[in-house]
Amino acid sequence: MAMYALGLSVLQEEISYEKTQVKQVAYVDDLTGAGKISELKKWWTLVKKNGPTIGYTPNATKSILIVKPEHYENGVRLFSGSGVIVTKDGQRHLGAVIGTEEFKVKYVEEKVSEWVKEVGVLSGMAKTEPHAAYSAFTHGLQHRWSLVKRTIPDISRLLRPLEESIRKTFLPALLKTNIIIGDDVRELLTLPQRLGGMGITSPEKLAEEENRNSINLTRSLTEQIIAQDAKGEADQNAILELKKTMSRNRQSAQVESLERLKNVLLDETVRKIHIAQETGASNWLTCLPIRAKGFSLNKQEFVDAVALRYGWPVEGILKTCVCGAPNNVDHNMTCKKGGFVCIRHDEVRDLTASMLREVCRDVSTEPTLLPLNGEHVQYMTASTANEARVDVSARGFWTRGQRAFMDIRIFDPMAACHRRISLEAAHQKNEQDKIRSYGDRIRNVDHGSFTPLVFTTSGGMGPKAKCFYSRRADVMAAKKHQPRSHVVAWMRCCLSFSLLMSALLCLRGTRYSAPTAINIAGLNYQATVMESAY
């Protein structure tokens, strides 16, 4: 584009406003002029004459003259034999449209019809690969209509069929839920993931705002084009401040929308949304579903994950758990039968240890603490057993040469013991429990540091866990010479998927109610095979 601008500047000097009374603008190899028809004829003649000398050869068959209906005959007469197409209706230009209101409506309706078909195709994919379809929509398809929204005013009503297709076709295929996608649910899903939504925007509601923001952002450039000021420069600092203001306004509107929803949604759903707003709780939604990295969910897992996110009914689970208690989602997250709660804990432990091995030495899992020989511990709830262990230890993480100990706890914020307190208080309570169990002993006996790593089952992290993984990202970014933001994003994705897959295991995993019929603990396999003559 820079080379085109330098090359075309010579041509634009030859066909300048002072010589032709035509206001012109060039974007890459597209040259546009506006003025009276007689002046445009002179301008077109100069373009054909001077363009080829600098390597710009105008193509008359691809050139369109748009005139008002009352000047159509005059335009046809003046450009007769030039090869230029003369129209009184309109023409597509750089992804937008110039012309009459009827032509604009027809153009947008054709684009909307095309997009509705694409949404239908993606809805078919969502039935078998909802995670991939969701990612394709949020990262790709919904940006297809961004340019039209920004450049063509007053098209909200024309985008309504597209919004209806998203609401009635795409979302039911994606979520596979019996919940009716009403106005409140649809508004919730339009919110960004960091606010507890899914980022599935509404083209109908955003059209006017997008167009208004586009006009404001390009106002200085528009004024320069109208004034034909080729040497002027836009104030980039002012544009940057305007972008920040628009971003703040949009975020404020989103927060206001969320607050309104909190007043009409069920208390359980409101708490679920608050849980989904935690740091790390939505990374499984925002990352690309790359199967080779373990970031892909099958159709059952994706539907269950969304249901867990919003507290929607989960189909296909037993009414009574094999442990004898009434079964529901909350019970599945805490039931010890089957060992899935321990597996969930061990997954995060092993992942944290593998991350530490990249930046620290002497990393071990389940390290035994030094035994007590008469030392006094501060709290009565402290662990005093000689074989006491924590989950992970590493040397030199916080302080050079010092051994750092970490212990992990994953709690369900919807459990009865946490439901009545705030999420922040629940994190603090679980962190304090760990500190009272190990902190004083590790500090005074092992001469190390202790950090409790507390998570929710949905992937949220406690304050000390955030500090720990932030420190790990700093060290990793410096060691690997990688942008810190990339390291943080990868790390949160790994943790998010580890906790999500463990939660889904607790939800759908098979819990056996009876021991196996054959006792194989002391079985001699070699003798058995020889005796059976296999």
The residue among 159, 245, 256, 173 whose CA lies nearest residue 201 is 159
Nearby residues of 519 by Cβ (< 8 Å), 6 or more positions away: none
Contact 426, 463 (CB under 8 A): no
- Given pLDDT bands bounded at 50, 70 and 90, which one contains residue 529? low
Confidence at 375, pLDDT banded by 50, 70, 90: confident
The token duo for 28 is 């890459």
Q: Judging by beta carbons within 10 Å of its beta carbon (0-12, 13-18, 19+), is residue 328 exposed, middle or buried?
A: middle
Distance between CA atoms of 116 and 147, rounded to whole angstroms?
A: 17
Closest CA to 147 of 211, 216, 199, 192: 211
Contact at 8 Å (CB) between 423 and 274?
yes
- Identify the H or E element spanning 66: strand 64-66
Whether 515 has a pLDDT exceeding 70, the answer reads no
What predicted TM-score, i.e. pTM, was given to this entire model?
0.88
User: If you search the block for the tokens 């339009």, which residue do you land on?
Assistant: 190
d(CA 327, CA 335): 9
Cα separation, 439 vs 433, in Å, equals: 10
Cα 362 to Cα 30, 296, 365, 403, distances in angstroms: 63, 33, 10, 9
Place of tokens 């034909």: 228
Which pLDDT score is estimated for 416? 87
Residue 428 in tokens:
């603090």
CA distance 524 to 474: 52
- Judge contact between 349 and 455, C-beta under 8 A: no
Residue 431: CB partners within 8 Å, gap ≥ 6? Answer: 452, 454, 462, 463, 464
Token readout for 116 is 């509705």
What is the model's pLDDT at position 323?
86
Q: How far apart are CA 251 and CA 391, in angstroms?
A: 40
- Asked if 429 contacts 396 with a C-beta cutoff of 8 angstroms, the reply is no
The pLDDT, as a whole number, for residue 45 is 92
At residue 516, the pLDDT reads: 55
Mean pLDDT computed over every residue of the chain: 90
pLDDT digits (tens, 9 = 90+) for 204-224: 999 999 999 999 999 988 988
- Give the whole-angstrom CA distance, residue 476 versus residue 483: 10
pLDDT in tens, 355-371: 999 999 999 999 999 98
pLDDT(255) > 70: yes
| Neighbour-count burial for 63-72, b at 16+ CB within 10 Å, e otherwise | bbbbbeeeeb
Task: Supply φ then ψ for residue 310, to 5 degrees.
Answer: -110, 5
For 177-187, what is the mean pLDDT?
82
Percentage of residues of the chain with pLDDT beyond 70: 95
